[in-house]
Structure 1
Amino acid sequence: MPRHLTGKVVIATHNPGKLREMQELLAPFGVEAVSAGELGLPVPEENGYMFSENAAIKAHAAAKATGLPALSDDSGLCVDALDGAPGLFTANWAGPNKDFPGAMARVERELQKRGVTAEGNRKAHFVSALVIAWPDGHEELFEGRVFGQVVWPPRGTQGFGYDPMFQPEGLDKTFGEISSEEKHGIDWSKPEPEALSHRARAFVRLAASCLRRI
C-alpha cells in the first residue's frame, strides 16, 4: 500500500542543484526538506546496475541514518550513439571536482570518435528514478524520462549538470536556456498534470501516490 509523505523528509543528495529542484517540487505539499549534505551524512557506494537501484541505496542509507523518510533521485543522460553512455556514470564523467563542462566536452569527443556530426544521430534522453524510503525499509519507486538530443556547443547557464547540451523534443532551447519554472514547473490544476523535465515527470507520479496538496 502506498504511504503518504508528510512532515519532514531527507533529500539523499549532496548536489545543491538537485536539492533546490526537489525543494521547489515539494513546496506545494508543505513538506520540509533537508539534504543529506546538510546533515553531514556520508555518500554511500552506488553499486547498483540500474538508476532505481542506486536511488534506493541512497534513500535507504539516509532513512536508516536519520530515522526520517528519505527521498532520493538517481538520474542520468543516455546518448543513443554512445550505446546509452554516460548513463549510470553520468556524474562520474564529471570527476570528483564535478567538472560538468569537461563532462559535456567528453560526450562531444566520444560522438566525434564515432563520426557523429552536428547532423548525425544525436538523440538522447534523461532518466530520473525517484525512491522514497522509510526507516522500516518500506520504499516506493517512480520513474520519468524526457527525450531530445544533445547539442554542441552547450547553450545557456541555467540548471546544472548536462542541462546546457540537452535540447528536449518540441523546444528550440536547451535545459540550460530555460528557467527552473519552465523546466520542472507543474500545472497541478489539470486532471493529469504535465511536466517537461525527467525529474518533474517522475515527481508527478510520486505526488499522485504519496503526497497531498496543502
Structure 2
Amino acid sequence: MSSCGQSISTEKESDIDVPVVQIESPKEEKGLIIEEHITTSNIPSEIQENKPNYSNGIHPDFFNINASQFSQFKEDGSKWFISSDGKSNLYFVPYTDYSITTAILTEKKITDPELISLLQFEGIEINNHKKTIKIDRIQTEKGIRLGLSINEVKKIFGTPDSVSKVNDRDLLRWRFVMLENEESNKVGGLKPFIIEGLEYVAEMEFAENKLTKVVYKYEVP
C-alpha cells in the first residue's frame, strides 16, 4: 500500500505545470560582439581628453652665446651684452646651472620697473657700460633681431595670442608649449632648460612697425 501511495504522489507532482527557466551560457558569438563593441566605443576619446595638448608647441627660440662670451659672463655674473654697433642690449636672468629663465633684448635703456627689479635682484649692473660683453650681431636662432616688422615676426611665430597698444607702441604676446629636439638636452651656457610641456612666452614691442624690445620667458621644472 505504501508503495502504491508513493507512486500516485509522484504522478500528481509530475502533472503540476512548473515554469522552467532556461539559463543559456554565453555563446562565443556574443563574446565577439561584446569585444567589437568595446573596441569601437568612445574610450579612446576619453583617454585623449587627458592627453596634453601640444597643438601650440614649438622649440623655444633663444640667443646663441659662444663659449668665449659665456666664459666672460661666468667670471662676472653682473655683466650684460651689447652689439658692436651699440644699438642692441641683451640681458639674461640665469638659473642655477647657467640655463636661463628670462632673456631681454632692447634698443635702449630698460624702463620697465618689473624688468629692472628682476635684473637688479640678480645683481646685473644694467647701467654700468663697463660691465658689457660685446657681440658682433645679436640675433636669435630663429632670426629675431631688432628692427624687424610685425609681419616679419609673424612669419616666424604666427598669429599672436594677444595684441595691445601702450604709448603708441604695439605689444604682441605669444604663449607656447615647449617641444624638444635633438639639441634639447644641452642645457646651460645661457640657453633655456627645454623640457616638453613647459611654457615658453615671447613678448615683442614695436614702435612704428619696427621691433624695439624682445622678452623671452622660459618655465623651469
| TM-score, normalised via structure 2 length | 0.21
When you count strand as a share of all residues, which structure comes out higher?
2
When you count helix as a share of all residues, which structure comes out higher?
1
Which one has a bigger Cα radius of gyration? 2
| TM-score, normalised via structure 1 length | 0.22
Name which structure has the greater RCO, CA cutoff 8 Å, separation 6+: 2
